[in-house]
Amino acid sequence: MKSLPKSIFLLLFIFISTNLLAQTDAEFDVKAHYTKQEVNIPMRDGILLHTTIYSPKDTSKEYPILMSRTPYSSRPYGEDKFRSQVGPNEFLMKEGNIIVYQDVRGRWMSEGVYDNMRPYIPEKTGNEIDEASDTYDTVEWLVNNVTNNNGRVGIWGISYPGFYSTYSLLDAHPAVKAVSPQASIGDFFFDDFHHNGAYFLSYWRATAVFGYEKDTPSDTTWYSFPELKTEDQYQFFLDVGPLSNLDKYYGEDNVFWQQLKEHPNYDEFWQKRGIVQHLKDIKPAVMIVGGLFDAEDLYGPFNIYQAIEKTSDNYNILVMGPWSHGDWARQKERQAIGNVYFGDNISLNYQKNVETKFFNHFLKGSGDASLALPEAYMYDTGRREWKSYEAWPPKEAVKRSMFLGNNQQLDDKPGEGSEEFISDPKKPVPYSEDIKMVFTPRKYMTDDQRFAARRPDVLVYETSELTEDLTLTGDVLAKLQVATTGTAADWIVKVIDVYPHHAEDYEETQDYLKMGNYHMKVRSEVIRGRFRNSFSKPEPFEPNKKTEVSFKLQDIHHTFKKGHKLQIQVQSTWFPLIDLNPQTYVENIFEAKEEDFQKQTHTVFHDSEIIFTVLE
C-alpha cells in the first residue's frame, strides 16, 4: 500500500475504531433512551474535572452509577453529541444505569496536570491529591448531586481506564460497591510497551503522541503518525538505527517516551508508580478481566488479582478469555486472534452472563457474597472452551521441569553440552511475518512461528508428539543458562503449540487448511539480560562466562492436545516488537551509538530449565 497522507491514516484509524465500537451499540440508540449532561466537578484542591453523565430518560426509578475515568477523553462534544459506545456493555445500557465518564486530571477538558501512573499517596493530608482522592471526591459529588441515583457506584475501565479502576479501590468511597479493572496496567515497567527492561518499538503509535489539545473535543490528536515513507515497520526501524534517532518522531508531550528514556531502570520513579503494591484490605467487590492474548496488559490482571487475593477477604474473581486487548468489549460474532479461531459470540456471552450479572448483583441486588460466578473463569485456548476453577492457579496444579536438551529435544533432565548462534543487530529476528507500520502487534500473540524456527539465530526445542493431553494452568519460569561473547544480550522465550500435520479439530472453520502443522504462539516474554539479578541495578555479562538468566512468562491456560507437540523457542532479537540490544553494555540503551551495536555469539546450555505449571 503506498504511503497515505497522514490525514487519511487518521480518518482510517477513526473509521475502524468507531465502527468496532459502534458495533456494540449498533442496535441500541443511546440518544433515544438517555439524556446527557456535562459538569465540572471540584476536587479537594479546587481543580475541576470534566465529567459527562448519561442518565436514563425513564425517571420513574433509581439507578446505580457506572463510572469510567479515562485519559482518552470523555468525549465532550457538547450536550447533543453521544459517544459511539456507552457503558461497559449493551445489556447494562438497555436495563438502565447512570453512566459516567470523566477526563482524569490534566487530560482533555479537565484542569490540572496529568501524570503517567500518578503515584499513590497513602495517608494523604489536607489537599494532597492522587487518583484515589480524585475518585473519592468525584463519587461524593455524584451520589449527592445526580438525580435518581440509588447511592451505589460501580467503576470499570479497560487498559489505562482499567488502571484508574484499580486505583479506585484505594481509600475507596463507601458508595463504591463493585469495581472491574479490565486489562489494567499494573506496573508500567512490566506492562504495555515495556517488558522487563525492553522497549516495545512496535507500539510506537501509542507512544507517538499521548498529547492533547484541551479544547479539541476529539481523539484524533491522541494518535499522530510521523510522515511515513514505508509500510514496512521492520525496515523503517532498522533504517532509523539507535533509539536516539527517534526523538524527532516523539514530541516533547510524549510523556511515555521521555519517562522511559530518563528512567531505563526500575528506579524509584517507576517503583512508586506501580499500583499492585498498594492493594491491601480491599473492600469493594472486584472482577478482574483480561485477555490471554493481550499484548499490552497481561502483567496487570494476573498480579492485581493475586495481590487482592493474598491481602483481602472481599469478593474477588478473575475472568481471562481468548481475547486480545479489550476484545471482550466488542461484539464481533467470530472470535479469532490472527489466524486462530476460538468460537462465536464469546464476548457477547461474557457481557450478558458474567459482566452484567456482576454489576447487577452488587449495584442493584443483594450485594452479598452469594453471587455464583466462578472464582476463576478461564478459557482453555487449546481445547477452545471455558473452565471454572475454585482458585487460580488451580490447587491441583503442580510444577514440572523440562530442559533444553540435545538435538533440539525438551528433556526431563538436564544434559551436557550447548547450542550457539550468531546474534546480528543488522539482521534481527522478525517478531512476525506480517509487520505493518501501523500498530498491529496484537495479532502476533498467536502467529505461526515456523518462519522463526527456520532461522539459525532461533533455537528450537520440542517434545515428541504428546500421547495424552497436557494442560498448562499458570506461569512459566524460564531459568536459562547462557553465555555471550559480548557484555549485553536480550533473551526471548516462546511457548508454542505445534499442531499435527492435519489439524482435523479445525475443520469447522475456514482456517483449517492453514492449521496443519501450525506453530501457534501461546505465550512469550523477553528479559533485557542486564536485569537478570535486579531490575533496579543492571549488570553487564562477563564475556564467555556461563550465567543464569531467569524470568517469568505470564500465566497460560492452554491444553496441548494429544498428537500435538509443546515447543520452546529461544532467541535474542525480536524486531521491531522490541528495540535492539547493542550487545555491548552501555548505561542507557536510549543513548546508545551506532558503533555500540555489535554482532555477538550467544550460547544456551542444556541445563537450561523451563518450569511449567501443569494441571495434574
Whole-angstrom distance, CA of residue 10 vs CA of residue 446: 27
294 touches ligand PG9 by CB under 6 A: no
User: Residue 86, interface with ligand PG9 (CB under 6 A)?
Assistant: no
Nearest approach in angstroms of CB 31 to ligand PG9 is: 27
Binding to ligand PG9 by residue 164, rule CB under 6 A? no
CB of 300 to ligand PG9, least distance (A): 8
Nearest to 187 by CA among 250, 89, 271: 271
592 vs 244: CA distance, rounded Å: 7
Q: How far is the CB of 158 from ligand PG9 (least distance, A)?
A: 7
The owner of cell 521492520 is: 234
Q: Which is nearer to ligand PG9, 41 or 185 (CB)?
A: 185
Among 185, 489, 495, 568, binds ligand PG9 (CB under 6 A): 185
Q: x/- site string to ligand PG9, residues 26 to 65, per CB under 6 A?
A: ----------------------------------------
- Minimum distance between the CB of residue 297 and ligand PG9, rounded to whole angstroms? 6
Count of CB atoms within 10 A of residue 265's CB?
A: 18
Q: Supply φ then ψ for residue 202, to 5 degrees.
A: -65, -15
Minimum distance from CB of 222 to ligand PG9 (Å)? 9
Residues 6+ apart with CB under 8 A from 510: none
With CB atoms as reference, the residue minimizing the distance to ligand PG9 is 159
Member of 103, 134, 192, 447 binding ligand PG9 (CB under 6 A): 192
What does the per-residue mask of binding to ligand PG9 show for 228-267, with x meaning CB under 6 A? Answer: ----------------------------x-----------
Maximum Cα–Cα distance for the chain, whole Å? 76
Smallest gap, in angstroms, from Cβ of residue 611 to ligand PG9? 29
Contact characters 491-520, ligand PG9, x per CB under 6 A: ------------------------------
Residue 270 binds ligand PG9 (CB under 6 A): no
- For residue 82, the SS3 value is coil
Count the site residues for ligand PG9 by CB under 6 A: 9
Minimum CB distance to ligand PG9 smaller for 71 or for 538: 71
* 3-state SS track over 468-496: CCEEEEEEEEEEEEEEECCCCCEEEEEEE
- Looking at the Cβ atoms of 297 and 380, the one nearer to ligand PG9 is 297
Shorter beta-carbon distance to ligand PG9: residue 9 or 63 = 9
User: C-alpha cell of 340?
Assistant: 486462530
Instruction: Specify the DSSP element, H or E, that contains 234.
Output: helix 233-240
Q: How far is CA 94 from CA 27, 31, 442, 599, in A?
A: 10, 12, 31, 60
**Judged by CB under 6 A, does residue 209 bind ligand PG9?**
no
67, 93, 201, 206: which one binds ligand PG9 (CB under 6 A):
206
Output 117 or 527, the one with its CB closest to ligand PG9: 117
Query: Rounded CA gap, 270 and 260, in Å?
Result: 9
DSSP 256-295: HHHHHHH--S--HHHHTT-SGGG--S--SEEEEEEETT-S
Q: Please tell me whether residue 103 binds ligand PG9 under the rule CB under 6 A.
A: no
Measuring CA to CA, how many Å separate 39 from each of 101, 103, 219, 447, 483? 11, 11, 20, 46, 60
Taking the C-alpha atoms of residue 212 and residue 189, their distance in angstroms, rounded to an integer, is: 24
Asked if 195 and 330 count as a contact pair (C-beta separation under 8 A), the reply is no
Contact with ligand PG9 (CB under 6 A): which of 108, 160, 389, 518? 160
25 binds ligand PG9 (CB under 6 A): no
Q: Shortest distance, CB of residue 70 to ligand PG9, whole angstroms?
A: 9
Task: Give the one residue of 159, 324, 509, 547 binding ligand PG9; rule: CB under 6 A.
Answer: 159
Count of C-beta atoms within a 10 Å radius of residue 209: 21
Q: Give the residue, chosen from 90, 137, 294, 297, that forms a contact with ligand PG9 under the rule CB under 6 A.
A: 297
Minimum separation from the CB atom of position 309 to ligand PG9 (A): 23
CB of 186 to ligand PG9, least distance (A): 10
- Based on the shown chain and the rule CB under 6 A, indicate whether residue 296 belongs to the binding site for ligand PG9: yes
As a whole number of angstroms, the distance between CA 168 and CA 462 comes to: 45
**Nearer Cβ to ligand PG9 (153/206):** 206
Helix, strand or coil for residue 74? coil
Strands 63-70 and 98-103: parallel
Residues that bind ligand PG9 (CB under 6 A): 159-160, 185, 192, 206, 210, 256, 296-297
